[in-house]
Amino acid sequence: MEGLELTAFQIISSVGSARSCYIEAIQEAKQGNFVKAESLIAEGDEMFVEGHDAHANLLTQEAQDGPGSTLSLLILHAEDQLMSAEGFKTIALEFIDAYKRIESLEQKLMDK
């Protein structure tokens, strides 16, 4: 395996790991483990950047070589996974914020 296939699998692997971190961050926030949730977001971001960089390299290569590179379902899948992970990060950040607000409100009620 080489070239486009290898790059596609690199993207899929990296952003798949990122998406898993983002989902796990939501689960940690739900349990009130906000430090762990934020750590998982940061870990996911590192993985996402790896996938994003591989994708950017593909775009740079195509710009240099001109059109004509083979567009495969594997590359389309890799790009889909990239966008999916980005969406999961957005959702994870919103959930973490919501869980923090819920915990804060619950604490205020307990203090009364």
pLDDT in tens, 62-76: 777 766 556 678 888
> Is 55 a catalytic site residue?
no
Q: How far apart are CA 45 and CA 53, in angstroms?
A: 12
Active-site pick, 30, 36, 77, 100? 77
For the stretch 17-76, pLDDT in tens is: 999 999 999 999 999 999 999 999 999 999 999 999 998 888 887 777 766 556 678 888
- DSSP letter string over 64-109? HH-S-PPP-HHHHHHHHHHHHHHHHHHHHHHHHHHHHHHHHHHHHH
- pTM assigned to the model: 0.86
| Mean pLDDT value across the chain | 90
pLDDT at position 50 is 95
pLDDT at position 71 is 66
Read off the amino acid at residue 3.
G
